[in-house]
Amino acid sequence: MVLLSFNITDSDLFLDNKLKIGPEKLLEVIMKNTARLLRVLEHHDVPATFFIASHLVPELEILTKEVYSKGHEIALYHNGNWGDTEKALQLVVKFIGKSAKGIRVFDHFSAKEISTHKFYYVSPVEKMKLTYLFKRLSRKTSIYTDTDVEVIPESIAPITQFPYNETIFQYLPMKYYENMVFETLKSSEYVLVYLNMLQFTDFSYHKIHIPFFRRYNTGLKMEEKLDGLLTWINDNDVATSTMKDFVM
């Protein structure tokens, strides 16, 4: 099972620093990128989970409704402020009539806190830095329960020990990446892939300056890579699911 997910944030690709653009431009970029991704997902009939940064939810009512209307899952991306997250939870219910069941956090989290806010599952991910681009990980990769919360760890390729994070997808050749997925599914019940919505930005078109090493393979090239992965998934009859449907 492949669990495809996207982080909708205002942070850059590696260092978790906010891009130096105004709020209106940021929303424009997010909306355009999401519209393109929804078309790709619809073309391949693949569901995905969209983790929206809690503090951005108030500005993304239209996007939230559009993503949900296409059959995808709405979840929250925790920004470290539980006040923002609680407000976002209420807004998601207002926007789509259903509560967000999942939350994505960085490595260290309190399952008790997450349970208190009525989340069913948590997706902990490692804060990625450029120096960790090909960091080899070794930790638990199976779903487990902690304080009534289902914990869905990051997937790790068995041979390379690479995670399936946004930077690995951006830099690895697609054939190599597909082989990683194939090998992982031999021994794991799922592969959790997560990408950052900002990676699909045409930075030149939007006149947003970022260093070359972060711009590499972004924009249309990322969209083409995703299209290639989804084609491979369907051609090989690999099952896909939203994270909520997988664990509930």
Edge-to-edge strand ranges of the sheet holding 191-196: 144-146, 149-151, 121-125, 102-106, 73-77, 49-53, 2-8, 191-196
- Locate 237 and state its tokens: 């009859």
More confident residue, 59 or 215: 59
CATH number, domain of 172, equals 3.20.20.370
Task: Give pLDDT tens digits for 119-137.
Answer: 999 999 886 655 555 555 5
What pLDDT score was predicted for residue 82? 92
User: Radius of gyration of the chain from Cα atoms?
Assistant: 17
Domain region containing 243: 2-247
What pLDDT score was predicted for residue 182? 96
111 vs 91: CA distance, rounded Å:
22
Number of domains in the chain: 1
What pLDDT score was predicted for residue 79? 84
217 vs 214: CA distance, rounded Å:
8
Q: Is the pLDDT of residue 160 over 90?
A: no
Stated pTM of the model: 0.93
Mean pLDDT for the stretch of residues 40-52: 98
How far lies 168's CA from each of 48, 164, 195, 212, in Å? 19, 6, 9, 16
Q: Is the pLDDT of residue 15 over 60?
A: no
What pLDDT score was predicted for residue 34? 96
Please enumerate in sequence order all residues whose Cβ is within 8 A of that of 129, keeping only pairs 6 or more positions apart, or say none: 14, 15
DSSP code of 216? T
100 vs 24: CA distance, rounded Å:
25
